[in-house]
Amino acid sequence: MRTRPLKVALLGCGVVGSEVARIMTTHADDLAARIGAPVELAGVAVRRTGKAREGIDPALVTTDATALVKRGDIDVVVEVIGGIEPARTLITAAFEHGASVVSANKALLAQDGAALHAAAGEHGKDLYYEAAVAGAIPLIRPLRESLAGDKVNRVLGIVNGTTNFILDKMDSTGAGYQEALDEATALGYAEADPTADVEGFDAAAKAAILAGIAFHTRVRLDDVYREGMTEVTAADFRSAKEMGCTIKLLAICERSKDGTSVTARVHPAMIPLSHPLASVRGAYNAVFVESDAAGQLMFYGPGAGGSPTASAVLGDLVAVCRNRLNGSTGPGESAYADLTVSPMGEVVTRYHISLDVADKPGVLAQVATVFAEHGVSIDTVRQQGKDGEASLVVVTHRASDASLSGTVEALRKLDTVRGVASIMRVEGE
């Protein structure tokens, strides 16, 4: 074993960074044996000094992250600051000054992954980011390496623990969205400002990263259709139950049937209770991957939290250190397939539509005609009347999102349709 240590600069020492530092210390001997050289924490960059940081030598702590990454003797920079800047500039500087990078930063990777991969490649360095998607769950490496000989057709997952916790609460207790969100906040599962989670921004960043890797195609954050889950109601859950379904916020990355294009989207969807994703409870994450040769694979586990996320960071750190000692690098960006990324209108799926209609003869026929005119075939219809008003629940066969949007627009114009109470996609069948 080499005695000269590999030097690690830790950028950020918060929820994830403090756990990375702890595990590096407590598992130092095992890490050294697995890597073939000791790893030494050479510096820790933070925003504020003067904060007690358990187990960290105060002499290592600095607020000058730029100087730390530019030292020239750093082998690996671990970026767990988060956000776009200064993380992007620091990572780029790390490559320029000879270091490889491990990051947990989904927002940055989804937005600037291509440029960061290019910078890593230009300087012959590694960029690893297993922790950026679904915390501890191994996903990036299985897609990038284990499935490199297969053809992935679909990645369907619950990649945000906060929203899964909220939806699971609504499902199991009959609570409304706000009540379930309040509980998630009280228990620390939701942040004070939950927008990134509940509006699907966090899941969309992960979908962009997963789709890019799965389909060997650059998928930008803007390419991902995004709908949050704040409009999901207790009534939607009752409807889902009547269909033998539950509701999950899903990230769905799909290759088209003819294989020439892909789509990526995040939205709430009904899934059958028999689907493995339906039984993912609380703040857990799970991702279902379908490929030509392997068939169906499911990855399940804690998608966030300091220690689980640090596990993924440490796995990357070991891999990058091994590469460093071998004088090699791991796989870089693979975007050779360069498939067309299609808009949401081309997505084909089933829909569950709830309409408030006038309770009088002929309404059903009128509604059915609108569906037929837009080429959307109806699977089932259920009607319930009360006091001159009625609710009509239509479940369609597979149709394009564009056709469905056209249908809904036309339905809204019917005098007999008082309102469209909800539209929910039905997935996983």
Ligand X SMILES: NC(=O)c1ccc[n+]([C@@H]2O[C@H](COP(=O)([O-])OP(=O)(O)OC[C@H]3O[C@@H](n4cnc5c(N)ncnc54)[C@H](OP(=O)(O)O)[C@@H]3O)[C@@H](O)[C@H]2O)c1
Q: Which residues does the annotation mark as catalytic?
A: 206
Q: Which of 8, 91, 102, 105 binds ligand X (CB under 6 A)?
A: 105
Q: Which amino acid is at 106?
A: K
Q: Report residue 57 as tokens.
A: 């030598």
Q: Report residue 354 as tokens.
A: 């709830």
Per CB under 6 A, 81 contacts ligand X:
yes
Per CB under 6 A, 408 contacts ligand X:
no
Q: How many Å apart are CA 128 and CA 138, to the nearest integer?
A: 12
Q: Which of 6, 8, 10, 13 binds ligand X (CB under 6 A)?
A: 13
Q: Which of 100, 309, 354, 403 binds ligand X (CB under 6 A)?
A: 309
Which of the ranges 29-37, 98-106, 146-154, 176-184 carries the binding residues for ligand X, by CB under 6 A?
Answer: 98-106
Distance of alpha carbon 134 from its chain centroid, rounded? 7
Q: Which residues contact 313 (CB under 8 A, 6 or more apart)?
A: 16, 20, 78, 80, 102, 104, 130, 131
Q: Are strands 340-341 and 245-255 parallel, antiparallel or unpaired?
A: unpaired
Per CB under 6 A, 91 contacts ligand X:
no
Per CB under 6 A, 65 contacts ligand X:
yes
Which of the ranges 46-54, 148-156, 271-279, 415-423 carries the binding residues for ligand X, by CB under 6 A?
Answer: 46-54
Per CB under 6 A, 263 contacts ligand X:
no
Q: Is 135 left (phi over 0), alpha (psi -120 to 50) or beta?
A: left
Distances (CA, A) of 198 to 167, 178, 194, 259: 10, 11, 6, 32
Which of the ranges 77-85, 222-230, 268-276, 363-371 carries the binding residues for ligand X, by CB under 6 A?
Answer: 77-85
Q: Which of 91, 131, 170, 253 binds ligand X (CB under 6 A)?
A: 131
Per CB under 6 A, 86 contacts ligand X:
yes
Which of the ranges 40-48, 228-236, 250-258, 340-348 carries the binding residues for ligand X, by CB under 6 A?
Answer: 40-48
Per CB under 6 A, 411 contacts ligand X:
no
**Cβ neighbour number for residue 273 with a 10 Å cutoff:** 12
Per CB under 6 A, 140 contacts ligand X:
no
7: β partners: 40
Per CB under 6 A, 153 contacts ligand X:
no
Provide the total of helices (H) and of strands (E) in the chain, helices listed first.
14, 18
- Which of 11, 353 has the CB closer to ligand X? 11
Per CB under 6 A, 304 contacts ligand X:
yes
**Cβ neighbour number for residue 222 with a 10 Å cutoff:** 12
326: β partners: none
Per CB under 6 A, 17 contacts ligand X:
yes
DSSP conformation class of 50 = S
Tell me which residues touch ligand X (CB under 6 A).
11-17, 45-48, 51, 65, 80-82, 86, 104-106, 131, 135, 304-305, 309
